[in-house]
């Protein structure tokens, strides 16, 4: 959430931010109008309250009963006016908060301008696309031929965009998750195992609600929400708390399944297991001092890159343009790995610096040692990495002419002696 003082003092900056995100700027004018009305109403309320306090003192000294009665009646009218103004202020504040919750973060000046993801900027590539002496096939054929991906039973159990991983395929996915968590722990991130469902206010604090309500799964009876990413509970861990400055930075990693109402249409983009309503992800998260958050962004990006390098995957780094930038983010970098069977780059990580946007929504502050005052900290998040796209890249890059898949060396400790995935019996 943006600081109302900043919007009040720099409305043109906020409008420009919305413009480069390809969004309507008129809510800013309404916010300014409501802010002015709210302050005016509060001023009127304080004036009436001061008047009531002053007259109350006078009443205690009035001896004439009739005069006292008139004063009391007049103050009863003033009390009704105060009550009406309080209700008016409450109504204004509700609309004001609702509008503020829909205003996205202000992009960093280094974010390239663009209308859509088609204008994202590839900054660099690491590694070369693997050369094969045979025509590589896509993961949906690899998985079906080996019997490790069962699309039919996924549909039978739940419906379209669901699948079942069998035997060695399930173990490979589990190995990827364990490898990533252990790697991030060595990189200085502390593991957390969090609930896969959270309360309403946790999603507001993390910036998922109200804007992305239609993409979330909700249990209306218990008012639980299935998490769309571990970023949500990791934000909520310290919601409404003040952290000692000496405790920062606080770096976390967590595995969660993720649940999202993906709006999908038929076509190449949704074939196989690339996109679904349920998927696994290992997340990195950081609470940082404001002046250190840029360094933490570099650190997190390097950590995600190290994961790709350890798996032997070719990848490139992409700077999200303004039109594709996430709602919470000031700046975001995507990591996309090459999948030779699909013949496309697959996004496996987005690493973002959200500044104090989330911490304002979730009221997460740190106590500054020099002043003793609580201040909003910065939050950062990044996939490290997302599945199943990492699984897709491993299957397609390590496929062999006989249809088997070689297990990457870094995953072998979790594969129980399996070095090559072969057809399930």
Q: What average pLDDT does range 155-179 have in this prediction? A: 96
Instruction: State what percent of residues in the chain have pLDDT above 90.
Output: 87
Q: Are strands 378-386 and 278-288 parallel, antiparallel or unpaired?
A: antiparallel
Q: What average pLDDT does range 221-235 have in this prediction? A: 96
pLDDT for residue 70: 78
Binding-site residues for L-serine = 229-231, 260, 283, 381, 383
* 353 pLDDT higher than 70: yes
Binding-site residues for ATP = 260-262, 347-350
Distance (Å, whole) CA 123 – CA 333: 9
| Tens-digit pLDDT profile for residues 290-321 | 999 999 999 999 999 999 999 999 999 999 99
* 194 pLDDT higher than 60: yes
Mean pLDDT of the chain: 94
pLDDT for residue 425: 66
Confidence of residue 262 (pLDDT cuts 50, 70, 90): confident
pLDDT for residue 217: 97
pLDDT for residue 26: 96
* 272 pLDDT higher than 80: yes
* 410 pLDDT higher than 80: yes
Instruction: State what percent of residues in the chain have pLDDT above 70.
Output: 97
Binding-site residues = 229-231, 260-262, 283, 347-350, 381, 383
Q: What average pLDDT does range 218-229 have in this prediction? A: 95
pLDDT for residue 52: 81
| DSSP per-residue letters across 324-341 | T--TT-SEEEEEEEEETT
pLDDT for residue 66: 76
Of 78-92, 119-133, 300-314, 338-352, minimum mean pLDDT range:
78-92
Residue among 374, 364, 329 at smallest CA distance from 236: 364
Q: What is the fold, at CATH topology level, of the domain defined by 4-101? A: Helix Hairpins (1.10.287)
SS3 of residue 147 by DSSP = coil
Measured from the Cβ of residue 42, the count of other Cβ atoms closer than 10 Å reads 16
Q: What average pLDDT does range 14-31 have in this prediction? A: 97
Confidence of residue 330 (pLDDT cuts 50, 70, 90): very high
Domain spans, the chain = 4-101, 117-421
Q: Are strands 190-191 and 197-199 parallel, antiparallel or unpaired?
A: unpaired
* 358 pLDDT higher than 80: yes
CB 141 within 8 A of CB 151: no
Q: What is the CATH number of domain 117-421?
A: 3.30.930.10
pLDDT for residue 49: 86
* 266 pLDDT higher than 70: no
Q: Are strands 405-406 and 420-421 parallel, antiparallel or unpaired?
A: antiparallel
Output the six-digit token pair for 41.
């109403």
pLDDT for residue 269: 62
Q: State the DSSP H helix or E strand holding residue 381, giving kind and residue range, or none if neither.
A: strand 378-386
* 93 pLDDT higher than 90: yes
Output the six-digit token pair for 129.
């696309």
SS3 of residue 255 by DSSP = strand
């Amino acid at each position: 959430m943006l600081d109302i003082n900043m919007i009040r003092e720099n409305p043109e900056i906020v409008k420009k931010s919305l413009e480069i995100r390809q969004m309507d700027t008129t809510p800013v004018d309404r916010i300014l109008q409501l802010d002015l009305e709210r302050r005016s109403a509060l001023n009127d309320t304080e004036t009436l309250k001061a008047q009531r306090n002053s007259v109350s003192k006078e009443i205690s000294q009035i001896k004439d009963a009739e005069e006292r009665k008139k004063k009391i009646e007049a103050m009863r009218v003033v009390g009704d006016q105060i009550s009406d103004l309080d209700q008016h202020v409450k109504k204004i504040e509700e609309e004001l908060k609702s509008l503020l919750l829909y205003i996205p973060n202000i992009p960093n000046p280094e974010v390239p301008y663009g209308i859509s993801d088609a204008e994202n900027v590839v900054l660099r590539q690491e590694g070369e696309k693997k050369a094969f002496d045979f025509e590589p096939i896509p993961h949906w054929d690899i998985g079906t031929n080996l019997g490790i991906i069962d699309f039919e039973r996924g549909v039978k159990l739940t419906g379209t965009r669901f699948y079942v991983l069998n035997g060695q395929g399930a173990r490979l996915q589990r190995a990827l998750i364990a490898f990533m968590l252990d790697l991030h722990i060595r990189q200085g991130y502390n593991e957390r195992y969090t609930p896969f469902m959270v309360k309403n206010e946790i999603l507001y604090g993390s910036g998922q609600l109200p804007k992305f309500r239609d993409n979330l799964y909700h249990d209306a009876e218990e008012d639980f929400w299935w998490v769309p990413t571990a970023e949500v509970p990791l934000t909520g861990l310290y919601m409404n708390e003040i952290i000692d400055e000496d405790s920062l930075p606080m770096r976390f990693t967590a595995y969660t399944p993720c649940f999202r109402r993906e709006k999908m249409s038929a076509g190449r983009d949704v074939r196989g297991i690339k996109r679904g309503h349920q998927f696994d992800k290992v997340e990195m998260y950081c609470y940082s001092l404001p002046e250190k958050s840029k360094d933490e962004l570099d650190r997190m990006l390097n950590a995600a890159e190290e994961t790709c390098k350890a798996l032997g995957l070719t990848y490139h780094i992409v700077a999200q343009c303004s039109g594709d930038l996430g709602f919470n983010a000031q700046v975001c970098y995507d990591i996309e790995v090459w999948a030779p069977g699909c013949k496309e780059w697959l996004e496996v990580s987005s690493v973002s610096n959200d500044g104090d946007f989330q911490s304002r929504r979730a009221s997460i502050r740190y106590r500054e040692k020099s002043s003793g005052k609580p201040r909003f900290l910065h939050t950062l998040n990044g996939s490290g990495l997302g599945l199943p796209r990492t699984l897709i890249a491993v299957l397609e890059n390590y496929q062999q002419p006989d249809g088997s898949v070689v297990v990457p060396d870094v995953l072998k400790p979790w594969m129980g002696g399996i070095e090559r995935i072969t057809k399930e019996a």
